[in-house]
Amino acid sequence: MDLTKFQPTGQQVEAAARLLRYQPFILDEHRHTGVAYEWLHHDISTKSSSERYFFDRRTAGDDVWNKAFDANRRLARMYDAFIAQMANICPPGGSYLDIGCNSGYFPVQASLAGIRTAVGIDAEDFSQQFQLLNEITGSSAKFSVGAYDPRSHTIAMQSDFGLQNYDVVSASCLLCHIPDPLHFLKAIARLATKAVFLWSGFIDTAEFLVRYNPTSFSGAGFPNGFDDGTSISLSLLCLSMSKLGFAHREEITSSPDWLPEDWHLRGMPQYQKFRAFLFWR
């Protein structure tokens, strides 16, 4: 998202430079953010994540700046296309929930695209980021701390803003961090009255498979430590969504100006190829 379009004040740009990191934002002519440079060029080095995802043309050097700018614009174009599809299927005056929303790219853009109630939840507190992005862009996205808990297979939110369900629910790059993916699908399907959007890595086979990444087992304890690189097979995904009441689906196919389809192989070979699906009832 190009924040310069909204002519932010100097103070707002400095706040953005302090608060935004993982998702792709252009802050001004010198600075932008986003994870995609690391994904495409596997430049993890020893930098902290707050340095790795922040690029300043004046200090980065031309090569890194140009590659990072291109990578993060690709990610942004892909995100924008996903959000346009969700805005399209959301009824007028409808509602949208993004789970694992990070700094709010999806809910903010969804609000700007006309979805009346656009909410994001994340296990970490991104309320300052939401407030700032609403101030800069004029969006009205809402944030609550909230998380899917694999111990209870449920999603708990500090505030639900008076809503029990949402027309559209999304989980972008989150299923791959979930140790019990089928229960997760059930939990998000319960919240969605019309459609579910998923972007994650899936195994392309007719077998019903759940795969964990053998090299990643976090401190969350067995079995919840399997929380990076989880994938299920496409056939199991489609069966699950159909059993959960989502009889229709469309794959949002990749475009040449998005991330290349093999991006995961460059830095994260333990991941499966990422695919984007919209399921609806």
Q: Which residues contribute to the site for ligand SAM (CB under 6 A)?
A: 23, 99-102, 105, 122-124, 147-148, 172-174, 177
How near is the Cβ of 101 to ligand SAM at its closest, in Å? 6
C-alpha distances out from residue 259 to 73, 174, 201, Å? 9, 17, 14
Looking at residue 29, what DSSP letter applies? S
Our CA angle for 118, 120, 123, nearest 5°, is 170
Nearer to ligand SAM (CB atom), residue 148 or residue 246:
148
Residue 132 · residue 126 · CB < 8 Å: no
How near is the Cβ of 124 to ligand SAM at its closest, in Å? 5
Nearer to ligand SAM (CB atom), residue 84 or residue 123:
123
How near is the Cβ of 109 to ligand SAM at its closest, in Å? 11
Nearer to ligand SAM (CB atom), residue 207 or residue 255:
255
Nearer to ligand SAM (CB atom), residue 152 or residue 205:
152
Please state whether beta strands 210-211 and 231-233 pair in parallel, antiparallel, or not at all (unpaired): antiparallel
Neighbours of 8 (CB within 10 A): 20
Nearer to ligand SAM (CB atom), residue 165 or residue 218:
218
Half-sphere exposure of 21 (CA within 13 A, CB side): 12
How near is the Cβ of 65 to ligand SAM at its closest, in Å? 21
C-alpha distances out from residue 198 to 1, 62, 74, 95, Å? 20, 35, 18, 17
In the complex, residue closest to ligand SAM by CB: 100
Q: Is 169 exposed, middle or buried (0-12, 13-18, 19+ CB in 10 A)?
A: buried
CA-closest candidate to residue 22, choices 169, 155, 134, 174: 174
Nearer to ligand SAM (CB atom), residue 172 or residue 233:
172
How near is the Cβ of 216 to ligand SAM at its closest, in Å? 13
Nearer to ligand SAM (CB atom), residue 113 or residue 147:
147
How near is the Cβ of 58 to ligand SAM at its closest, in Å? 26
Residue 232 · residue 204 · CB < 8 Å: no
How near is the Cβ of 148 to ligand SAM at its closest, in Å? 4
